[in-house]
Structure 1
Amino acid sequence: MKFFSCLFLTLISLLSLAQHATLRYTEEPINLNDQSLLLIPFESKMYLSDVNRDLALANNLNSQQIIERFNAAIDQSILYTFQEKCNVSSFYLLDDQESISDLGYIYQNRKLEYELVSSTEEQTKVDKLKSKFKKKEDNSYQGAKIINGEIVSKRDDRERYMKAVVTNQKLLDSLSEKFSNKYFLFINELDIRNDYSDAIAMQKMEYQREIKIHYSLYHKNGEILSTGISRTNFPASENDINVIIKSYFPILAQYIYDDLFPPVEEKTTNKLGIKKWK
């Protein structure tokens, strides 16, 4: 019995690694317990999807309405998942004009750049030291970034994070003063793609779709602490946006939570700790 318990925990651990990738910029553990966090939604142009037509037809929504639904869903899922551990501030609590003005200021004063996802999720300190020197070589040739509102990059099939880059300290200072927060969680990009890797599943129309959230965590002093990808899959036959949001966005929020909060040593029947919407 003990063997099967260990095997189950191992499988859960592997599942977590498969659904989440993180690049840390600090050797210190990240702990947002009892801290204040400002959640910054992704910009509309950073919604990348090849299933939008299906979603629009099934839900009688246009592209902008779909983006708004997904942005609000990410915000609500993270708020609901994080609320017992830290104080989350949201732009959805402001009136529309104030929110639009503040977000416009943020988007003008932060850049977005791609960062290569490491092929190994766990590295030793020596490996991390080596990667600091190797990263410049790897990233310099692909040089992807946002220029004049467009994603510009050379072709590179390796997986990448979309990372927020804040060089204007006044941005963080002004937001921290307004919202009284110590940390900033930037949602940089939302991807929804068909997974065509399984030819047999494609023939049977039983293939999967992948949802990915790209995010970055900053301290108010301007230090970037973490950037990562949270991902999960859902059936390509599912086009009901309400079902997608309710069933799968809490999973995405939970993987981000697992990156930013230390694990709790306690027994639980819900191994992933996912908080389902009611």
Structure 2
Amino acid sequence: MFSHLKFFIILFAVFTMVTVERPAWAKPLDVLIQNEVDDTGNVNLLLTLKNSGSRSIYHIRPMFHFHHSMSMMSKIMRLDPGQSITLENDKHPPVRRVGRYPLTAMVEFWLHPNGGTKKSVLFTDSFFFKEPLISKVEGKLASVTDLDSSILNVFLKNRSESLKNIRMMLLLPPGLAAKNFSGVMGFTMRGGEAKNFQIRVFRRENIERDRFPVRLMIEYGEMLKHYSSEINGTVRFSPVWYSMKYMPHFTVLALMALILLSYYYRIYNKK
């Protein structure tokens, strides 16, 4: 029993020594990289540094490593426990090819304001650049009113010289339905070719609204790439100059006109 007690005492002493002698700078600095890449390949980086230790650190020197170059950032004189700071860096060379690019940030700092042992933290991350795909098929939507429906004219133009296998999808809001059109259509357009479609659209009887936004999705594939574009338009169930929301105004104007006409005839008859 005495031997077991002695063993636990020695184990407790070793654990206490490890805990006491653990350096305060074991991990005093947290590093985070945020990236923003636009469609043209320009890279903007945000480097966030936070003192997660129990003592202040001094003379913090952050830097980025880009491929075979280095970008130094502003020196930070002091970070207290719990304090954080975010630095912006736009020195990364623009990227042009699709792929994943590595990011490396190295931060050097001191534990004492007047020097001492220099420490460093290395943080790695990456970002992915996707080539912007611009559709070569353009178009527009135009609506013409009918007696009890609206005719949606779809105009498409293939601006490239190559053949395109098009998938067209019409998105209608609730309350509208297209006649003889399931909502999806597939066809082929040669280079430079233009096409025109007419789609008859109906609205439910209990809907008084006369203007509805619609969207037309155009998709096609080429060389293992997927291209898509969206064409926005409006379906009308009344003339351009007229809208159901102006019905009360037209009613008031008509009544005023009738009153003025009756007043005019009364005066004219008296004469």
Provide the TM-score with structure 2 as the length reference.
0.19
Structure number having the greater strand percentage: 2
Q: Which has the higher contact order (CA 8 A, sep 6+)?
A: 1
Structure number having the greater helix percentage: 1
Larger radius of gyration: 2
Provide the TM-score with structure 1 as the length reference.
0.19
